[in-house]
């Protein structure tokens, strides 16, 4: 039983791992850069990120299988994921014979984790310091949803063009904590996205996306996360996606009557 509880916590924490809050735009820096650019001699125009059709992608339903390697031990589980617009997500983790290990439901203001075997609920604001310490990582719901929907994690203007190759353009974003690289196809859709910490080799995560025609959405195909110092890794492979055009009822789960609730402020 403890192993199944452990698997749920590991999967939930590593899915969020590396998803830091990142939508802030440094307007002062951007304005300064525009002034400096205007003073330079005219250069050959480099590709810019101008997208995207996925901005109209609202609700998703996905099925994935996971494999975890943790210090020489291997585990596996299945995931059912539902996303409503840009503000809520649910994840159900199951094992052999469809047995539920755990459930997660989160909005921008409420996070709920069910430990199915212990009958225990952990809940609080996703920004709660106590909750993030318990999960083991920051909980950025908007970034996590963007990853599933093949959206950039920063404003497009903050990415720097690196190179073009085979009708694909590579861009990068670097700050004092993170180094992101993104490859866009000829339709300005994300083909691959990678993130790592800047300098300490604490983690590396790679996201790979499905191919799509010009007027269709693309979605996350696989996720591979490595934590070298812990000799650990997680791989998620997505088997299917459905675009939900209508969500009439919320998909938060019912809390069992006999559940013990632990709240994080």
CA-to-CA distance for 106 and 89, rounded, in angstroms? 5
Flag the least confident range among 99-113, 119-133, 237-251: 237-251
Mean pLDDT of 79-99: 86
Distance CA 247, CA 83 (A): 10
3-class SS letters over the chain: CHHHHHHHHHHHHHHHCCCCCCCCCCHHHHHHHHHHHHHCCCCCCCCCCCCCHHHHCCEEEEEEEEEEEECCEEEEEEEEEEEECCCEEEEEEECHHHCEEEEEEEECCCEEEEECCCCEEEEECCCCHHHHHHHCCCCCHHHHHHHHCCCCCCCHHHCEEEEEECCEEEEEEECCCEEEEEEECCCCCEEEEEEEECCCCCCEEEEEECCCCCCCCCCEEEEEEEEHHHCEEEEEEEEEEEEECCCCCCCCCCCCCCCEEEEEC
Average of per-residue pLDDT values in the chain: 78
Q: What is the pLDDT of residue 27?
A: 38
Q: Which residues contact 244 (CB under 8 A, 6 or more apart)?
A: 58, 59, 60, 61, 82
Q: How far from 174 is each of 48, 111, 158, 198, 217, CA to CA, in Å?
A: 17, 29, 9, 8, 27
Check pLDDT > 90 for residue 208: yes
- Predicted local confidence at residue 162, as pLDDT: 95
Torsion of CA 124, 129, 134, 138, to 10 degrees: 100
Instruction: Provide, rounded to the nearest whole percent, the portion of the chain with pLDDT above 90.
Output: 13
| Percent share of the chain, pLDDT over 70 | 75
Q: How far apart are CA 86 and CA 155, in angstroms?
A: 16
Q: pLDDT band at 171, cuts 50/70/90?
A: very high
Higher-pLDDT residue of 254 and 245 is 254
Instruction: For each of the domains in the chain, give its residue range(s) and CATH number, in order of start.
Output: 2-21+46-264 (2.50.20.10)
Mean pLDDT computed over 76-81: 88
pLDDT band at 215 (very low <50, low <70, confident <90, very high): low
Q: How far apart are CA 161 and CA 34, in angstroms?
A: 16
Length of the chain: 265
Q: What is the pLDDT of residue 59?
A: 86
Beta bridge partners, 175, equal none
pLDDT (0 to 100) of residue 77: 87
How many angstroms separate the CA atoms of 159 and 104, rounded? 32
Q: How confident is the model over 31-72, as pLDDT tens digits?
A: 334 434 445 444 556 677 766 666 677 888 889 898 888 777
Query: What is the model's pTM?
Result: 0.77
Q: What pLDDT is stored for residue 246 in this prediction? A: 67
Residues 122 and 103: beta-carbon distance below 8 Å: no
Q: Compute how many other C-beta atoms are within 10 angstroms of the C-beta atom of residue 1.
A: 9
- pLDDT confidence of residue 34: 41
The residue-averaged pLDDT of 150-165 equals 90
For the segment 75-98, the average pLDDT, to the nearest whole number, is 86
214 or 217: which leads in pLDDT: 217
pLDDT for position 60: 87
**How far apart (Å, rounded) are the C-alpha atoms in residues 193 and 154?**
12
Residue 12: pLDDT above 70?
Answer: no
């Amino acid at each position: 039983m403890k192993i199944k509880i452990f698997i749920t916590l590991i999967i939930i924490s590593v899915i969020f791992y590396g998803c830091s809050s990142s939508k802030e735009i440094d307007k002062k820096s951007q304005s300064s850069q525009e002034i400096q650019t205007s003073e330079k001699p005219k250069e050959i125009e480099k590709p810019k990120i101008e997208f995207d059709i996925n901005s109209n992608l609202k609700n998703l339903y996905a099925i994935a299988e996971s494999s975890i390697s943790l210090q020489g031990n291997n585990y596996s589980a299945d995931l059912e994921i539902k996303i409503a617009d840009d503000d809520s997500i649910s994840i159900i983790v199951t094992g052999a014979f469809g047995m539920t290990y755990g459930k997660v439901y989160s909005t921008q203001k409420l996070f709920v984790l069910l430990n199915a075997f212990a009958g225990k609920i952990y809940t609080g604001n996703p920004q709660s310091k106590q909750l993030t310490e318990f999960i083991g990582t920051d909980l950025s719901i908007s970034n996590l949803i963007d990853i599933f929907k093949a959206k950039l994690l920063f404003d497009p203007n903050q990415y720097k063009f690196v190179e073009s190759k085979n009708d694909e353009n590579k861009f990068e974003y670097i700050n004092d904590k993170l180094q992101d690289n993104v490859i866009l196809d000829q339709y300005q859709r994300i083909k691959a996205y990678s993130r790592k910490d800047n300098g300490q080799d604490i983690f590396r995560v790679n996201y790979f996306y499905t191919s799509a025609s010009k007027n269709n959405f693309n979605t996350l195909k696989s996720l591979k996360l490595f934590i070298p110092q812990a000799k650990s890794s997680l791989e998620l492979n997505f088997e299917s996606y459905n675009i939900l055009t209508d969500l009439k009822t919320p998909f938060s789960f019912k809390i069992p009557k006999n559940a013990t609730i632990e709240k994080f402020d």
